[in-house]
Amino acid sequence: MIGHYSLDLSSVWRYRELLVSGLLVSGWVGALALGLGLLGGLVVGLGRLSRRRALAWPAGFLIEVFRGTPPLVQLFWFYYCLPLLFDVRLSALTTAVLSLGLFSSAYVGEIVRGGIQSVHKGQVQAARALGLSQLQALREIVLPQAVRRMWPPLMSQAVDVLKATALASSITVPELMYQTYNATSQTFRFVEFYTVSALIYLAICLPLVWRLRRLEWRSGV
Amino acid sequence: MGEPMVVVEGLQKAYGPTPVLRGIDLRVAAHEVLVIVGPSGSGKSTLLRCINFLEDYDAGRVLVGGKLVGKRQVDGRLVRDTEGNINRMRAEIGMVFQGFYLFPHRTVLQNVVLAPMRVRGLSRAEAEAGAEALLRRIGLLDKAGAYPEQLSGGQQQRVAIVRALAMKPSVMLFDEVTSALDPRLVGEVLDLMRELAHEGRTMIVVTHEMGFAREVADRVAFMEHGVVVEEGPPGQLLGDPGDRRTRAFLGQTE
């Protein structure tokens, strides 16, 4: 009993398979979106730093658009507008991965840019003076140093993306939030299901947050 | 003077409206040590950075070992060379910076072997053998596995010198390499440079260390406001300069 409410956790147990299947879908969407975000972010971040406008401007545009609009709006736009405008038909799951992946690319792009810009210019000059090409200097000297500084913000971005997967429920992706909602509409056990669902998200994100804190402590951020 | 190793002709460079180099002509023979002195802002560092084409310039040309650096001739005009050629020429020109710029994520040994492996294509074993011989020579072989931050400034700068030497460059450029050092660490770096000079290496040294210039230089050039005001043997230029501006500069420093 909490106040006038009597908890009935057995209802959650009865729907455990539904919740687990939702959790698996959440994991997939999160992992794929994050993978896309890391790859896309590297491209976008390097593009933004390029001296060529044909690369820098599109990268800048993508970053501003995806950071300046709510991810829920982005998700709906991809789900409803892509088929109408370009006759592209993607499953809800693919749409969620693509949309969240691009959302994450924008943030990762800024993290990549910041990391690279934090490496002293003299490092590149020393590498170039030794005869290394621009690409070799980037790969051997700049990126390894930049990546170390990028770890804490990247972990934080991973947590953000994992939490943002819950938005995919709104376009019928059968992930954890969607299945939780389904269960409550059959049982009306809102307190039990939303609390358990929150605890599951917490259980996934907290270890990442803790690890992040250790990284920040170590790198003296 | 024998066959010149480095030739700089009519070099001009401006940052926007501000001229930094206003027609520099210099020749450095093989095995010669040229020391360049002058007040800060006189264009000494920019000159060095044009010699290995870390910076482009507006007019003039630079040759090292008889080959153009950074440019090639097309229809009688000089145009920017291909990146591949620029990289190949840079590999022949060693440069040491005021700020050391060792790579902090790599050990001392990894700093030294990087370019010989990636640029010269040496095997790891060959590159490490060469690097170890160089580190032994400067007494830092026991630091081969250490990271730069674990070394003193003087040790870091000596590793930076050895990192450049590992490429077997035909000329070495030194850009105020002792200016960022604690005074008690300057000596060990100058000692190493003195040894290299006695070995007969071709060196262009920008420095404020007048004692080093007097003792080690074959020739000293005085630069001010983007021009070489005068050059000559160290005894003459530092002891009895012909130009009023050189006298004024030396009067301030000593």
pLDDT-based confidence at residue A1 (cuts at 50, 70, 90): low
Contact flag B101-A148 (C-beta cutoff 8 Å): no
Q: Which candidate, B227, B99, B53, B137, places its Cα nearest to that of A121?
A: B99
pLDDT-based confidence at residue A160 (cuts at 50, 70, 90): very high
Contact flag A130-B83 (C-beta cutoff 8 Å): no
Taking the Cβ of residue B77 and every Cβ of chain A, the question of whether any pair is shorter than 8 Å is answered with no
Which residues in chain B are closer than 8 Å to A129, comparing Cβ atoms?
A: 52, 54, 90, 93-95, 97, 164
Contact flag B167-A127 (C-beta cutoff 8 Å): no
**What's the DSSP call for residue B52?**
T
Q: Could you give the CA distance from residue A212 to residue A217 in angstroms, rounded to a whole number?
A: 8
Chain A: give the shortest CA distance to residue B142, in Å. Answer: 24
3-state DSSP assignment of residue B173: strand
pLDDT in tens, B11-53: 999 998 999 999 999 999 999 999 999 998 899 999 999 999 9
| Residue B218, both tokens | 């074959």
pLDDT in tens, B65-80: 999 999 999 998 999 9
Rounded to two decimals, the pTM is: 0.82
Nearest CA in chain B to A148: B105
Q: Are B171 and B204 in contact (CB under 8 A)?
A: yes
pLDDT, residue A208, reads 84
pLDDT in tens, B197-215: 999 999 999 999 999 999 9
pLDDT-based confidence at residue A7 (cuts at 50, 70, 90): confident
Nearest CA in chain A to B101: A123
pLDDT, residue B54, reads 95
Chain B: give the shortest CA distance to residue A115, in Å. Answer: 14
Task: Please report the sign of the dihedral spanned by the C-alpha atoms of residue B133, residue B99, residue B48, residue A122.
Answer: positive
Chain B: give the shortest CA distance to residue A119, in Å. Answer: 11
Contact flag A131-B99 (C-beta cutoff 8 Å): no
pLDDT, residue B251, reads 85
pLDDT in tens, B108-129: 999 999 999 999 999 999 999 9
pLDDT at A131 over 80: yes
pLDDT, residue A213, reads 78
Q: Could you give the CA distance from residue B50 to residue B35 in angstroms, rounded to a whole number?
A: 16
Chains A and B form CB pairs within 8 A to the count of 64
pLDDT in tens, A24-71: 999 999 999 999 999 999 999 999 998 889 999 999 999 999 999 999
Residues belonging to chain A:
221
Mean pLDDT computed over every residue of chain B: 94
In chain B, helix, strand, coil percent, each to 5? 40, 30, 35
pLDDT, residue A217, reads 66
- Over residues B133-153, mean pLDDT: 96
pLDDT at A219 over 80: no
Which residues in chain B are closer than 8 Å to A131, comparing Cβ atoms?
A: 87-88, 90-92, 115, 119, 167
pLDDT-based confidence at residue A221 (cuts at 50, 70, 90): very low
Pick the CATH number of A10-219 from 3.30.70.141, 2.60.40.10, 1.10.3720.10, 1.10.1040.10: 1.10.3720.10
Contact flag B105-A120 (C-beta cutoff 8 Å): no
pLDDT at B254 over 80: no
- Over residues B92-105, mean pLDDT: 96
Contact flag B95-A122 (C-beta cutoff 8 Å): no
- Over residues B150-178, mean pLDDT: 97
Q: Which of A118, A130, A147, A149 to mutate to test binding with chain B, by most B CBs within 10 Å of its CB? A: A130
Is A220 exposed, middle or buried (CB count within 10 Å of its CB: 0-12, 13-18, 19+)? exposed
Chain B: give the shortest CA distance to residue A133, in Å. Answer: 6
Chain A: give the shortest CA distance to residue B187, in Å. Answer: 23
pLDDT at A85 over 50: yes
Q: Which residues contact B112 (CB under 8 A, 6 or more apart)?
A: B127, B131, B134, B135, B159, B162, B163, B166
pLDDT, residue B252, reads 76
pLDDT at A3 over 70: yes
Nearest to A130 among B83, B99, B115 (CB): B115
| Residue A19, both tokens | 């919740």
Which residues in chain A are closer than 8 Å to B56, comparing Cβ atoms?
A: none
pLDDT, residue A101, reads 96
Nearest CA in chain B to A145: B105
Share of chain B above pLDDT 70, in %: 98
Q: Which residues contact B208 (CB under 8 A, 6 or more apart)?
A: B37, B176, B179, B253
Which residues in chain A are closer than 8 Å to B93, comparing Cβ atoms?
A: 129
Taking the Cβ of residue B135 and every Cβ of chain A, the question of whether any pair is shorter than 8 Å is answered with no
Share of chain A above pLDDT 90, in %: 75
Q: Are B214 and B45 in contact (CB under 8 A)?
A: no
Chain B: give the shortest CA distance to residue A148, in Å. Answer: 9
pLDDT, residue A218, reads 63
* Residues on chain A bordering chain B, Cβ-to-Cβ distance under 8 angstroms: 120, 122-123, 125-134, 136, 140-141, 144-145, 148
Chain B: give the shortest CA distance to residue A136, in Å. Answer: 8
Q: Is A31 left (phi over 0), alpha (psi -120 to 50) or beta?
A: alpha
Q: How close are the terminal C-alpha atoms of chain A, in Å?
A: 45
Amino acid at A190: F
Q: Which candidate, B73, B67, B69, places its Cα nearest to that of B57?
A: B69
Q: Could you give the CA distance from residue B36 to residue B223 in angstroms, rounded to a whole number?
A: 7
Contact flag B114-A134 (C-beta cutoff 8 Å): no
Q: Could you give the CA distance from residue B104 to residue B111 in angstroms, rounded to a whole number?
A: 9
Which residues in chain A are closer than 8 Å to B88, comparing Cβ atoms?
A: 131
Q: Could you give the CA distance from residue B176 to residue A85 in angstroms, rounded to a whole number?
A: 62
CB atoms within 10 A of CB A30: 25
